[in-house]
Amino acid sequence: MHITQLNRECLLHLFSFLDKNSRKSLAKTCHQLLEVFQDPLLWSLLNFHSPVELKKDNFLLGPALKYLSICWYSERVKVCNIEDWMKNSFQKDFCNRHENTVSDFLLDVCNRCPNLLSLTLSGCGHVTDDCILQLLKNCPHLKTLKLENCVRITDQTLEAVTLYGGSLQTLHVDFCRNITQAGLERVREKCPSVMLRAERSANMIPDSKPEKQLILEKASRKLVQL
């Protein structure tokens, strides 16, 4: 039996075992398989492992998307997580090449994927509070939000959760250095049903401008002397 003789349900099941590149390659072989590739039911789950993958045309965004994960574990993540005022010209140039990639993609998700249930972002050092705010507003069914090592995320995201995260059940803000204990306490107070985890976040040194950093260093030296 030729693959095109299988019914639509079987073809969808077959495609579900393939990665995004393999799905795209198979879809190029004939019109019937292209239609299967374009079926929204095939795209309820998307996993990405680098910002570059977000720019490819081997996937579809649509209302069927429920589970989205963008986890970047490359060594280059460390460059994105350096405070902006501490980056050298090479590091700034590197970040400028992809600074808005994840944020632009998430804004596209806001417009196309209102039924999103779960979002995981790890190592996305350029994602901002405004981006998460828009996502919470446009994806009212979001139940799980996991942010790890997203250094631009601040208490503004926690405030957005209290205002627009009505469906949220799980919130992780691990290793997000600009989250404060006060912000976490506000979430616990306003959203007691949310399972909140903040590993190391409120205990990390937040970003500071050079003049503020000098004050912190002086204060630290005084504490050591005492």
Residues lower than pLDDT 50 in the chain: 222-224, 226
Q: 138-194, pLDDT tens digit by residue?
A: 999 999 999 999 999 999 999 999 999 999 999 999 999 999 999 999 999 999 999
Taking Cα atoms as reference points, which of 68, 44, 70, 56 lies closest to residue 148?
Answer: 70
Q: Residue 116 corresponds to which amino acid? A: L
Q: Looking at 8-143, which runs of residues are DSSP E strands?
A: 45-48, 67-71, 118-122
Q: What pLDDT score was predicted for residue 224?
A: 46
Q: What pLDDT score was predicted for residue 223?
A: 43
Q: Residue 111 corresponds to which amino acid? A: N
Q: What pLDDT score was predicted for residue 125?
A: 86
This prediction has a pTM of: 0.84
Q: What pLDDT score was predicted for residue 154?
A: 95
Residue 212 CA to residue 125 CA, distance in Å, equals 22
Task: Say whether 195 sits in a helix, a strand or coil.
Answer: strand
Which residue ranges form the domains of the chain, and what is each CATH number?
1-42 (1.20.1280), 43-223 (3.80.10)
- Say if CB 156 and CB 181 are below 8 A apart: no
Residue 102 CA to residue 51 CA, distance in Å, equals 6
Length of the chain: 226
Neighbours of 199 (CB within 10 A): 12
